[in-house]
């Protein structure tokens, strides 16, 4: 059992203007699955700057009152390529174009050219740094196997499920090391689940569960959303949650980070996953307007009509990286105040 409406973030936070050039996420030639925006430092200075940006986001999250913290992905130009570009078997020197996200966008992607392997514990320093900087529970994110498959061009396996299971085995090794270090929540980001509900049933859950084998202390989470809002790219909020949530209910995952704000989805959907703890998205990462605590409390209490309140956490829909830092801070504060109000009204 836990407290109702624990507050957390999904993953990314905006980067300070001194750390990275500020570009839309789909800027030409600098797409998220290819190159990404440029850092404003290099080498040791970059690592020092990323360390300080991580300290800043920890401070911002604690200041807002967030209870389960992330590193804001301050070291990542992309939540995905930060991991995939380091794996053996992938080539990011010569990227290619691929229609991703069920034909939503033609993205520049890395190529899978051989068996996927792991070069050791990739997130060791990131995780140790977080644990040394805060006593609060820490969440670390990894891209989920179906999202890795969709966001790269397979020139080796020739079969999506085969590749996903190989990627899952490698992610599982990483997850077990994070678990042993004392990371509280290991989250697999699967935005593409919402695009391919049939594949989720066919092999997506199987691959996700493979990532979790032997993770004993940490809570495991899956994040399913409709991808970051991007200028000029329609955000297809399709009716896929019913199928996905039913499938996820049968998975071994502990927690689901779901989008309920921008999508305006009915919280009744929570009845499809009664055994899961849900990070209930109640903050929109695509608009600058700040949600009010009153509004957030209303959303959380409405959700609690369909799932016990101690299985509901307050979270943004998705990573807050598309926003400015100032807006993101104010949104987190409003969310925490809203969760507090909702707790009071429960009792």
Binding site for Zn ion (CB under 5 A): 225, 318
Measured CA to CA, the distance from residue 289 to residue 139 in angstroms comes to: 27
Q: In angstroms, what is the minimal distance from the CB of 222 to Zn ion?
A: 11
| Non-local CB neighbours of 31 within 8 Å, separated by 6+ positions | 107, 108
Minimum distance from residue 117 beta carbon to Zn ion (Å): 27
Q: Please, which residue, 79 or 129, has the CB nearer to Zn ion?
A: 79
Residue 89 or residue 197: which is nearer to Zn ion going by CB? 197
Q: Which is nearer to Zn ion, 277 or 341 (CB)?
A: 277
Q: Nearest approach, Cβ of 140 to Zn ion (angstroms)?
A: 16
CA distance 325 to 25: 15
* Contact assessment for residue 201 and residue 243, using Cβ atoms and an 8 Å cutoff: yes
* Residue 69, beta-bridge partner list: 138
What is the arrangement of strands in the sheet containing 312-315, beginning at the earlier edge strand?
6-7, 312-315, 277-281, 255-258, 219-224, 185-189, 139-143
Report, in Å, the least distance between residue 257 CB and Zn ion.
Answer: 8
Q: Output 6 or 225, the one with its CB closest to Zn ion.
A: 225
DSSP β-ladder status, 105-117 and 88-100 = antiparallel
Q: Which is nearer to Zn ion, 318 or 320 (CB)?
A: 318
CB of 121 to Zn ion, least distance (A): 25
């Amino acid at each position: 059992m836990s407290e109702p409406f624990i507050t957390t973030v999904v993953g990314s936070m905006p980067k300070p203007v001194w750390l990275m050039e500020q570009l839309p996420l789909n800027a030409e030639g600098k797409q998220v699955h290819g190159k990404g925006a440029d850092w404003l430092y290099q080498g040791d200075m970059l690592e020092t700057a990323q360390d300080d940006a991580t300290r800043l986001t920890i401070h911002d999250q604690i200041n807002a009152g967030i209870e389960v913290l992330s590193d804001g992905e301050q070291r990542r130009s992309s939540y995905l390529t930060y991991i995939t570009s380091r794996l053996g078997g992938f080539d990011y020197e010569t990227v290619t174009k691929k229609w991703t996200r069920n034909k939503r966008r033609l993205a520049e992607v890395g190529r899978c050219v051989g068996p996927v392997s792991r070069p050791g514990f990739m997130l060791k320093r990131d995780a140790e740094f977080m644990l040394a900087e805060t006593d609060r529970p820490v969440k670390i994110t990894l891209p989920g196997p179906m999202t890795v498959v969709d966001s790269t061009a397979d020139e080796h396996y020739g079969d999506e499920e085969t590749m996903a299971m190989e990627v899952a085995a490698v992610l599982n090794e990483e997850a077990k090391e994070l678990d042993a270090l004392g990371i509280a929540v290991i989250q697999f980001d699967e935005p593409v689940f919402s695009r391919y509900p049939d594949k989720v049933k066919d092999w997506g859950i199987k691959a996700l569960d493979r990532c979790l084998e032997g993770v004993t202390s940490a809570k495991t989470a899956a994040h399913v959303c409709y991808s970051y809002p991007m200028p000029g790219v329609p955000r297809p909020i399709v009716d896929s949650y019913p199928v996905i949530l039913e499938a996820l209910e049968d998975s071994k995952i502990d927690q689901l980070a779901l989008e309920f704000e921008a999508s305006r989805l009915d919280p009744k959907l929570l009845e499809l996953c009664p055994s899961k703890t849900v990070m209930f998205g109640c903050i929109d990462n695509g608009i600058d307007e700040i949600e009010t605590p009153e509004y957030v409390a209303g959303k959380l209490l409405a959700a609690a009509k369909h799932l016990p309140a101690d299985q509901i956490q307050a979270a943004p829909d998705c990573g807050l990286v598309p926003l400015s830092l100032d807006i993101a801070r104010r949104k987190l504060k409003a969310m925490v105040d809203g969760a507090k109000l909702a707790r009071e009204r429960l009792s």
